[in-house]
Structures are given as C-alpha cells and as structure tokens.
A and B are shown apart, each in its own frame.
Chain A
Amino acid sequence: MSTNNLHSSNLPGRHRLGRVWLVVFQVALVVGVVALCALLFNILNGSFGYVAVQDKVNPATLAVDGVPLEELDKDTLIQVLQANISAGLMARYEFDKPFAERDAGEVYDLILERVVAPEFVAQWSLYESLTNAGEVRATAAQEYPEARLEFRSWLNWHFLRAPQSSYPEIAGVRTAVLGSLWTISIAVLFAFPVGVAAAVYLQEYAPDNLINRIIQTNITNLAGVPSIIYGILGLAIFVRALGAFTSGIAFGVTDPATANGRTILSAGLTLGMLVLPLIIINAQEAIKAVPSSLRQASYGLGATRWETVWHHVLPNAMAGIMTGTILAISRAIGETAPLIVIGASTFIQVDPEGPFSKFTTLPIQIYQWTARPQSVFRNLAGGASLVLLGLLLTMNATAIILRNRYRRSQ
C-alpha cells in the first residue's frame, strides 16, 4: 500500500495498544466474576453441610406397644406428650390452641420439639462436607458418639415457616420475611406515587428558575446520602415527632405489641424517604427519554398539559419508571442501618399484624445471627441470606415481567 509522509501511521503500534486495553477489560471482567463467585460460595458454604444432631430422648424409646412414634394416632401422641412434659407447659399449649383443634402432625411436631428435642452439637461447612466427608464422619463418631450425622440444608421449609427462636434447631425467618414484606410495601406505596408525581412536576411543569434548579440539585445529592442519616431522620420524625400516628394511638388502634412509634409504619416511611430521591431521579430520566415529538403531536391536537402527561408521557415512561423503582426497592430491601437506628426489634416471635406492629426484617435478622457467638447461628444466617436473595430475585422478576407486559400492551 502506498504511504504518504503526512501520516506516521504506526498501525502495528496502534493495534498493540488496542490489545493491551482488551486484556485490561478482560481482567476487569474476571475480577468481577471472581468476586461474585466468592460471594455465592460464601453464602452456600454456610447454608448447607453436615450437622451432628443429638436427641435428648431417643425417639425409639417413645414407641408405644411396639408402634413407632411417627405411626401413632393423635390421642396416643397426646398421651406421650403429657407423660414427658410438665403440666404447666401442657396447659399453655392447650391455651395457645386447644388440642382438640390440632391434628396429629402438629402434636407430633410438639413432641419432636419438646420431648425429643434434637440439638445441633456440631456443624460443618459445605466445603468440608463435600471434600472431607470421611474425616467429618470420623470426628463426629469420636466426639459425639450419641449424635447422628445428617446432611442439612439450612434453608428448608420449616426454616421459612417458623418464627424467630433462640433455639437454632427450631428458629426460622417467618417473622423477618413478613416484616421485610410489610416495610417494603409501605415504602413503595409511599415513595412510588410521591416520587413519580415529583418527577412529573420537575420535568413537565417546573419553569427553569433558580429555585427549581436548587431543588433539583438537592434531590440529586439526597440520593447519595448515607442510609444511616435517613435512619436518624426517621427516628426524629416518624418515631419521635409523629409517634402518635406511627404507633396508631391517634387512630385509636394500638397493637398489643406496639413500641412507641418503633413500628412497621415508621420503618416503611423511613425506607420510603430513602428511596424517594432514587425514584424521582430515575422517573425523571424515563420522562426525559420520551421523545419531544410525542408531546408536540399531543399539544398540536389541542391537548392540555395534563392530558399530554397522562396519555402520552407517563405511559411511554412507565417501563423506565418501573425499572428505576425496581432498583430502588432492591436497595431498600437490603437496608439494615436505618432500621436499627429507628429501633427494629432485636427479637420478636409474633408475626407483624399490621402497620402498627413491632417488626424485624431479614437483613436485621441476618445481622443478629452473625453477631451471636455460637457458630450454628452463622449457618442460620447463611440460610436467611439465601431467603433474602430469593426474595430479591422474585421481586425483580415480577417487576420485569410486569414491565415487559406493559411494554407489549403499549
């Protein structure tokens, strides 16, 4: 090829530079993937593995007339239970829910929980359990001769359904999951309409003047404020100043388990404040992306501003607004610090009943379990982390499906 002396076309050098950058990009990708794998490994490592379980009473000894425990009928099961626990405890169970209303399975569960009372005496990580099963078995046999070795998934049906408990054997995440769902729902119910309305105002109505520019800058900056600050804000406003409302006293409803404004409502509103700037900014971007030719077409037909916004701008921005909201919710569902500040309960066993109940949430539950000295709670935390991730994925998937359906119907 002919060359002229105007260009010092160092083509091989330029290609080399390109290859160097390509390698940089690939390395960056690998780092990201490794970090992700490490995260997954860490969670899975704690969520599955061998446990040594030791029963207080061997279930075989509870057989009646040679019929094993699990095949007994309800009445016999009640007798077994009665024979093994105190009369006071028996009366409490009767009070909680009369035995006449319980089925055989429930009574059997009570016997397992109270009489057989299996205890986790040792547990191993997934990695150990898979790579070193022989040694695990040997150790277990040597150190806990009376225990049996089970491969356990810490994430299981019981774990999802059972309330919080200080016994790791029967503890579950039900209270925390319900608490998370409640707070997130309230946060979204509050922040979505307010955020979208604010975004519509800023994008479609607000004149470009100093005040509006200051407001805009503030919203942008608020999105970056650390969440603990929102916690302090929530504590001051929702828990303290508006305590009469957030505890339900002002409405004449007081939850028996209420705690002076440290309720689901306060938590939901605090999370709502936290995600509000995110929702506003994302909704603004989505509204900006609606082509101005659409607005012109609408105005050109004699539509008012409101008609233009309602019939054209919002429907066309909705997919983007929803995406932004999903991102915001994903952030909120994992928030721990602000909820601790406004006073999430550290230990509650009763399901939240409404916005005025005390609450705990999944990330708080995880945090508490990891902070416990007994190593078995770390496995519970691993299981709860899986639940949290699952919850997040489900919500995202639902939102994406909703969004795609919306797009198609457009």
Chain B
Amino acid sequence: MSDTAQATASLNGAAILSKDLSIYYGDFQAVRDVNLDIQTNRITAIIGPSGCGKSTVLRAFNRMNELIPSVNTKGEVLFRGENIYAPDVDPVEVRRRIGMVFQKPNPFPKSVYENVAWGARINGHKGNLDELVHSSLKAAALWDEVKDKLDQSGLSLSGGQQQRLCIARTIAVRPDIILMDEPCSALDPIATLRIEELMRDLAKEFTIIIVTHNMQQAARVSDRTAFFSLSEDGKRAGMLMEYGDTKTMFTRPEKKITEDYITGRFG
C-alpha cells in the first residue's frame, strides 16, 4: 500500500465509508440507507439471510453494479475520503483499486500465467511480469501447485486452485481492498480452510470484505461483522441491522434478530 493510502487510512480509520447508501433495481429498493465504515487491514464479514442485499452492497463498493443496466445508486461511498460515485471518478480506476473475487471461480480461459499477468499488463504494470506472477501466486498460496504448469489453461485447475488463481489475479493489480462474494461456497471444506488461511495472510496487506453464509467462517476469519436483514415494513429492502466486533456479535449480539440469525433460529 502506498504511503498516502496508509496516511488517509489512519486518519479516519475507514477504508470504505458508506453514507446513506440506497440501491434500486428499477423501482425496487434492494438496499436502504446503509451506513457502514470498513476498517483498513481488517477482514469484515457481511452476513444475513438470502436476498437481503449483501451482494448488492458489495458490488456497490467497486461500482460493479453499473454493469446491470437497471441499477440506480443513491448516497455516497467514500474510498480514502473520496466519493467514488462523484461524477469525475472513473469506475475503471475504482475497480482496479477495489478488486473482486466472485462466488464461482471464473479464471480466464487462458494460461495460468496469463490469468495473473493480464490485469497487471492492461493496467500498465512497469516491473517484471514474471516476478509479479511469481509473487502473486505465492501470495495466493498457489505457487507450489502450479509452478510447473504456468502455461496450462487456468480452467484445468481444481475448483479450489481456480479460486486461489482468481485471488492471485486480483492481488496482481495491487488493489487496496479485495471484495469477496461467497468465495468458498463452491469449494469443499479443505479448500475452504486454505482460502481462509490465505485471507488471514492477505489481511496484513489488504482490506478484505467477505460475504458469507457460513457463520463459522465469519466467526473464524473476520475481525468485524455486519449483519444485514430485510426491513420489516413489508417492502423487503435490505438494511444494516447490526455492526461490530465479530467476537462481540457472536457472543453478545445487541439485537434479538441478530441472535436469532446467528444461532440458526432464523433464515
């Protein structure tokens, strides 16, 4: 991370700050008035029942929602104190700074090497690409498994390896923040554990936000947890219900609805 990023981050402690964030799909309000501050170099978990807008909020953090034509975003998302929805901000730059790992591993149908190198290359990486591929794959805990098959297709790897390849590819463009939308839901328990370990390592360098349905995973891996749920006025808009330290949330949640969800009496 650059010095300025460090400085800004320590100034307000928040890597991302959303202010009254509301998101609409056409006329339907999927997310209502979310105020959330994501802390730098921490892992923040977003949990909540299906359809409460977790993915929608996550995609709002790097303007990926704009790829869906009907989406309309209100409110502000501050990244290093700057509103990423301001008119003069280029979403392409936002997405390089705030990378994303998806639910289903989606490597490019290119070689392992190209998968990692491509993003860096289009973003004008000036250093040695071979080194970058090496360090990114190492950081994604994948190097030892693929060092002999760098020119094989990324699709020839196992699901867990593919997901780590996607993480390596994201790291390679040096983002400040990595968004992960249920990154382990297509993986078996062992591959899941590997990714969780990896996330702990990556948190030293990156700010991570992870959406998960797995309570144990949220408890194991995250520092802070945000619980979303549907509004109870019948409009089924997603709202931030409770947000705090993961330990506190899982031991002494403030709200009844949070406790119900975490203990599995709801959902």
A residues in contact (CB < 8 Å) with B: 207-208, 291, 293-304, 307, 311-312, 316, 410
Which residues of chain B from 94 to 132 have a CB within 8 Å of any chain A CB? 95-97, 99-100, 102, 104, 106-110, 118-119, 122-123
A270 nearest CB across to chain B (Å): 37
Give the size category of B's interface with A. Answer: 20 to 34
Query: Count the A-B residue pairs with Cβ separation under 8 angstroms: how many?
Result: 63
Q: Pick the contact of B119: A208, A294, A302 (CB < 8 A).
A: A302
A residues near B119, Cβ cutoff 8 Å:
301-303
Q: Are A302 and B96 in contact (CB under 8 A)?
A: yes
Across the interface, name the chain B residue whose C-beta is closest to A410.
Answer: B109
B182 nearest CB across to chain A (Å): 13
Across the interface, name the chain A residue whose C-beta is closest to B70.
Answer: A208
Q: Are A312 and B100 in contact (CB under 8 A)?
A: no
Across the interface, name the chain B residue whose C-beta is closest to A290.
Answer: B109
Besides A301-B123, A302-B97, 10 more A-B contacts (Cβ < 8 Å) are A208-B69, A293-B104, A293-B106, A294-B108, A295-B67, A297-B166, A299-B67, A300-B62, A302-B122, A410-B109
Q: Could you give, for residues 72-102 of chain B, a 1 whenever the CB lies within 8 Å of some chain A CB and a 0 otherwise?
A: 0000000000000000000011011101101
The CA of A316 and the CA of B96, in the complex, are separated in Å by 23
Q: Could you give, for residues 41-59 of chain B, a 1 whenever the CB lies within 8 Å of some chain A CB and a 0 otherwise?
A: 0000000000000000000
Given A207-B69, A297-B102, A307-B122, are A302 and B108 also a contact pair (CB < 8 Å)?
A: no
Across the interface, name the chain A residue whose C-beta is closest to B67.
Answer: A299
The CA of A399 and the CA of B107, in the complex, are separated in Å by 28
A residues near B164, Cβ cutoff 8 Å:
none
The CA of A178 and the CA of B166, in the complex, are separated in Å by 52
A residues near B136, Cβ cutoff 8 Å:
none
Across the interface, name the chain A residue whose C-beta is closest to B166.
Answer: A297
A288 nearest CB across to chain B (Å): 15
The CA of A294 and the CA of B166, in the complex, are separated in Å by 11
Sample of 10 A–B contacts (CB below 8 Å): A296-B100, A297-B102, A297-B166, A299-B64, A300-B62, A300-B64, A301-B118, A301-B122, A302-B119, A410-B109
Across the interface, name the chain A residue whose C-beta is closest to B91.
Answer: A299
Given A300-B95, A301-B169, are A294 and B106 also a contact pair (CB < 8 Å)?
A: yes
Q: Pick the contact of B173: A291, A294, A299, A301 (CB < 8 A).
A: A301
Q: Are B62 and A312 in contact (CB under 8 A)?
A: no
Q: Are A302 and B104 in contact (CB under 8 A)?
A: no
Q: Pick the contact of A293: B92, B102, B123, B169 (CB < 8 A).
A: B102
